[in-house]
Structure 1
Amino acid sequence: MYTPSYFKEADVASLHTQIEGARLAILVTCDASGLQASHLPLLFRPEEGEHATLYGHFAKANPQWKALKNGAEVMVIFPGADAYISPSFYPAKAEHGKVVPTWNYLAIHAYGRAEVFTDHQRLLALVSALTDKHESRRPTPWAVADAPADYIEKMLSAIVGFALSITRLEGKRKLNQNRSAEDAAGVRDGLTASGDANDRHVAHLMSQGDSDA
């Protein structure tokens, strides 16, 4: 990922927080079969391995799991908040007009190689943990144990699990750090006034950056 120094996010705790909060990741491989990508919910275990471990599963019919089994390097993309930045947000537009549109965003790339598994007990533990994570905020959470055991066994036979030990993390936090304080404030104000919740969230992230500084 192209990351100029002023956009680099090197704080491990911040990276882990963003990964933990991700809803859906993009897992990418490249091998003899070519480029493949799958959109997957993942479990993040920061305490496992040298740089943490990611757990997930594929449908057995999805051939990408074979790339993992054969030792292909994996890249996992965790998209974060993003917002379009209009040149009209910049005070510099009125001063000299030398401004162009851009995009503010957060992103993390994780790299590593994975172990695949089909053991039903291990798969059951994985899907149960994933379900519990995403059901936890519901008033009446659904649990894997709510479904008939024979049905769950059939479903487990149709998936392949994996454990990906992270070897490298790259984080990018592009929030106008390369602009003047006046232009950054203009962007923050413009996004705050937006009717889009995503824009307002990015403005909040920019304000957090000011507080940290």
Structure 2
Amino acid sequence: MFIPKYFKVTDINEIIDFVHDNSFGTLVTIKDGKPIATHIPLILSKVVDDYFITGHMAYGNPQWRTFDNCEEVLVIYQGPHAYISSSWYGHENVPTWNYQAVHVYGKPCILEEEESKQDLIMQLEKYEKHRKNPILWDKLSPQLLETQIKGLVGFKIKIREIQAAFKLSQNRNEEDYQNIIAQLQNEPDIDSQQLAEVMKMRVKK
């Protein structure tokens, strides 16, 4: 990923927080010389000194069969993004687009059934535990779970490289930066409003 120096992020804790908050990723591999992708929720975890991404996809999805021939796969995470009008600057310039994106490269492998089960338990914990009536693993019938697991393929990716770009107008002066935030807050789409909040939080750091 091309990352100008203003927008490159190297703080691993900041990157991990971003991935946890934007865990619906895009997994890209190559099949017969053509890139293919699946959009799925993923879990990032650390084991000793290594980082891993785990997830699962439908057995009928042909992408998991490409893992044996892939030295590396690409996982893309994206946060809020928005158009930045040049009318928001105090001087003549061109419009641009602000965004947050993380690219992760690593070697994939298929999980054994018990490992896949543990990953599914973690997924439910992450997305259900804060709800009023959480549906966690032990609340689901063994018959349903057995049927569902047979239709899934769990996988693990050992991370080899992480690239992160947070293009958030860091190269603008303070007046323009604050005006961009104000203008984004007034935009009708939720991405623009969320991006404004991200930019506001970065000012506080």
State the TM-score, normalizing by the size of structure 1: 0.88
| Structure 2 unmatched ranges of 5 or more | none
Tell me the equivalent position of 1:200: 193
Please report how far the alpha carbon of residue 151 of structure 1 lies from its aligned counterpart in structure 2 after TM superposition: 2.4
Tell me the equivalent position of 2:121: 128
Tell me which of 173, 183, 187 is aligned to 2:166. 173
Tell me the equivalent position of 1:146: 139
Determine the C-alpha separation between the residues in 2 that align with 1:63 and 1:115: 14
Determine the C-alpha separation between the residues in 2 that align with 1:23 and 1:165: 16
Tell me the equivalent position of 1:105: 99
Please report how far the alpha carbon of residue 68 of structure 1 lies from its aligned counterpart in structure 2 after TM superposition: 1.4
Please report how far the alpha carbon of residue 31 of structure 1 lies from its aligned counterpart in structure 2 after TM superposition: 4.3
Tell me the equivalent position of 2:90: 91
Question: How do residues 1-213 of structure 1 correspond to structure 2 at under 5 angstroms?
Answer: 1-32=1-32, 34-45=34-45, 47-48=46-47, 50-92=49-91, 98-117=92-111, 119-212=112-205
Deviating runs (4+, > 4 A) in structure 1? none
- What letter matches 1:177 in structure 2? Q
Pick which of 20-29 and 119-128 moved more. 119-128
State the TM-score, normalizing by the size of structure 2: 0.91
Please report how far the alpha carbon of residue 85 of structure 1 lies from its aligned counterpart in structure 2 after TM superposition: 1.1
Pick which of 49-58 and 78-87 moved more. 49-58
- What letter matches 2:80 in structure 1? A
Please report how far the alpha carbon of residue 34 of structure 1 lies from its aligned counterpart in structure 2 after TM superposition: 1.9
Please report how far the alpha carbon of residue 132 of structure 1 lies from its aligned counterpart in structure 2 after TM superposition: 1.6
Contact in 2 for aligned 1:86/1:102 (Cα 8 Å)? yes
Contact in 1 for aligned 2:84/2:96 (Cα 8 Å)? yes
SS of equivalent to 2:196: helix
Provide the aligned length of Structure 1 versus Structure 2: 205
Determine the C-alpha separation between the residues in 1 that align with 2:125 and 2:31: 34
Please report how far the alpha carbon of residue 154 of structure 1 lies from its aligned counterpart in structure 2 after TM superposition: 1.7
Determine the C-alpha separation between the residues in 2 that align with 1:49 and 1:38: 28
Please report how far the alpha carbon of residue 193 of structure 1 lies from its aligned counterpart in structure 2 after TM superposition: 3.1
